[in-house]
Amino acid sequence: MSETALAKTIEREVARRRTFGIISHPDAGKTTLTEKLLLFGGAIQMAGTVKSRKASRHAVSDWMAMEKERGISVTSSVMKFEYKDYEINLLDTPGHADFSEDTYRVLTAVDSALMVIDCAKGVETQTRKLMEVCRLRDTPIISFINKLDRDGRDPFDLINDIEEHLNIECAPMTWPIGMGLDFRGTYNIATKTLHLFDSNRGDRIQEGTTISLDDPRLDEILGEQAAQIRDDVELIQGAANPFDKEKYLAGKQTPVFFGSAINNFGVQELLENFVELAPAPFPRPTTTRDVAPTESSFSGVVFKIQANMDPRHRDRIAFMRINSGRFVRGMKVRHHRIGKDIQIKDATIFMAQDRANVDTAFPGDIIGVHNHGTIRIGDSFTDKEPLKFTGIPDFAPEHFRRVRLKDPMKSKQLHKGLVQLAEEGAVQLFRPLINSDYILGAVGVLQFEVIVARLKNEYNVDALYEPVALHTARWVSADDPKALDSFRDKYKGDLALDATGDLVFMPNSMWRLESTIERSPEITFTKTREHN
Ligand code: G4P
């Protein structure tokens, strides 16, 4: 293909890519909505196919059950499907508060987000946290208020709730007619179309009926509710913010849709608007410059690693988001952190129920690359210019455990298991300078249970935890290597190396941290660390 033809192809492919994540508080309907979106995209034929990943937010036992299922129906953390002329990549964002670090990193790989809110509950804690993450990058967000077939809060109240608690302007795109048993459908404010709800058609696409508000037939169809919707629409048109694409793209305004995912209601309308409104891949920052997706040179960054995705193959997959150019199977790319060229022969693309070998992929697409331990979260790959994508951090853990083996003969397996599981980034592994302990650090405590269960299940290692008197962790560095050396000598007992060999200060109290910072002006202490 000539240079110009390639440039044209890339431009066209970028324009039709939509890469997004769904954010919501557990139970708001993320799984159901995901499934319905896949249904509309033709990626699955029947509802009930996508196994819920919600187990991960409850107990370890649920999590293990989910793992078992994983080998059979590949519930991937990335799902690709087509809708009309669009190629959509849906990235799963784990819902539990404990997974926030992982979620944060997944959200670095999306171009926009879809927020699901339960109409009875409004904004919940997890919605708030995820929204904070989105705000860090001004990610554009479309909102879907779900479960209108159940009694919920007044729609005006819900809009206020979002505006107040999530600090984002709302632009209603549709408006519900009644709720719960009285739910009759939605009114599309832009197209002035009434979509009537039929509760028996949850498995099918519900067609809208076009009817204007002053049409007398509206009274026949809706009875008393006709007056209500007329009043509501008048109110919204007077009081609500009109949709403003610029504001939406800047993450300052969220268009709001109402519906019922389980009944398929409002989902197609949502999807249709989503593909039109949501942004295609946009330029991504590196340490040297912003990289535009339409550049013809290939570049990509790994934002997630998962070990043992398929228990039958014991593989470790690095999820790479393509940021520019075109990926072609078998291409050679430079792995910049280790300074080596690697050939990607068998990258995988993830569909709802399957994975397949990928021949070509474009910016916005996520490919799975087999990882034999050389790839880490944050690694950048290009075919020419050395680039290092930024914005994928590690966070200082707040909980710590010392790992102990039940069977000392298994120390090799323990080491391997811990290193591989820590690669996924949900826990961090530290080795103190003064002994050979394994210290795990996590942002949320559920991770510890998960790791012990996975050590047993995937590595056949019985391990247990001991409490350890550590309070927090800070990465330490200094401009003057001598200063770092003397700091290392002086505080040996409080220092450890993380999995990448970086020095970490791990004090047993806040007081010790503060006093050490005060006494060590030449040392920089950081709470987050960019992967390097
Ligand atoms: P999550 O991934 O956000 O955690 O939510 P999920 O889709 O699993 O939905 C949570 C519960 O809400 C499920 O019920 C689901 O069926 C229900 N639900 C989702 N969308 C709607 C809707 O539009 N209307 C109503 N009435 N319910 C909805 P469950 O009883 O917890 O599970 P299940 O046994 O139905 O699977």
29 lines ligand 1 (CB under 6 A): yes
More confident residue, 7 or 354: 7
In this prediction the ipTM stands at 0.97
Alpha carbons 427 and 451: distance in angstroms, whole number = 8
Which domains are assigned to the chain? 21-70+112-277 (3.40.50.300), 284-382 (3.40.50.300), 396-530 (3.30.70.3280)
Task: Indicate whether 61 pLDDT > 80.
Answer: no
pLDDT at 60: 46
Which residue owns the Cα nearest ligand 1 atom 29? 27
Q: Indicate the range of 208-212, 257-261, 484-488 predicted with least confidence.
A: 208-212
| Separation of CA 349 and ligand 1 centre (Å) | 28
> Which is it for strands 17-24 and 86-91: parallel, antiparallel or unpaired?
parallel
Alpha carbons 529 and 502: distance in angstroms, whole number = 10
Q: Which helix (H) or strand (E) holds 133?
A: helix 125-136
Q: pTM of the full predicted structure? A: 0.84
Q: Where residue 52 falls among pLDDT bands split at 50, 70, 90?
A: very low
Q: Indicate the range of 34-43, 45-54, 218-227, 465-474 predicted with least confidence.
A: 45-54
pLDDT at 56: 37
Residue whose token pair is 């996508």: 50
pLDDT at 425: 80
Which residue owns the Cα nearest ligand 1 atom 22? 147
pLDDT, tens digit, 9 for 90 and up, residues 379-425:
999 998 999 999 887 788 889 999 999 888 899 999 999 998 888 88
pLDDT, tens digit, 9 for 90 and up, residues 158-187:
999 999 999 999 999 999 999 999 998 999
Average pLDDT over residues 301-320: 78
Residue whose token pair is 């209500």: 228
pLDDT, tens digit, 9 for 90 and up, residues 63-122:
445 544 443 233 457 889 999 999 999 998 765 555 567 778 889 999 999 999 999 999
| Separation of CA 276 and ligand 1 centre (Å) | 27
150 lines ligand 1 (CB under 6 A): yes
122 annotated binding-site participant = no
pLDDT at 203: 52
Mean pLDDT of the chain: 87
> Phi and psi at residue 182, in whole multiples of 5°?
-90, 5
Task: Indicate whether 53 pLDDT > 60.
Answer: no
Residue whose token pair is 């912003």: 290
Return the top range by mean pLDDT from 13-22, 126-135, 206-215: 13-22
Mutate to test the pocket of ligand 1, among 32, 62, 179, 198 (most ligand atoms within 8 A of CB): 32
Alpha carbons 294 and 311: distance in angstroms, whole number = 37
Task: Indicate whether 366 pLDDT > 50.
Answer: yes
93 annotated binding-site participant = yes
pLDDT at 300: 97
In the chain, the N- to C-terminal Cα span, in Å, equals: 35
Task: Indicate whether 55 pLDDT > 80.
Answer: no
pLDDT at 69: 45
DSSP, collapsed to helix, strand or coil, labels residue 304 as: strand
pLDDT at 353: 61
**Do 330 and 344 form a contact (C-beta atoms < 8 A)?**
yes
More confident residue, 355 or 497: 497
335 annotated binding-site participant = no
474 lines ligand 1 (CB under 6 A): no
26 annotated binding-site participant = yes
pLDDT at 283: 96
Average pLDDT over residues 31-49: 77
31 annotated binding-site participant = yes
Which residue owns the Cα nearest ligand 1 atom 9? 29
Q: Where residue 327 falls among pLDDT bands split at 50, 70, 90?
A: very high
Alpha carbons 91 and 76: distance in angstroms, whole number = 9
| Separation of CA 29 and ligand 1 centre (Å) | 5
pLDDT, tens digit, 9 for 90 and up, residues 229-252:
999 989 888 888 999 999 999 999
Tell me whether residue 267 is exposed, middle or buried, using C-beta atoms within 10 angstroms of its C-beta: 0 to 12, 13 to 18, 19 or more.
buried
Q: What Å distances lie between residue 279 and 47, 148, 248, 260, 294, CA to CA?
A: 28, 28, 10, 25, 14
Alpha carbons 399 and 60: distance in angstroms, whole number = 18
262 lines ligand 1 (CB under 6 A): yes
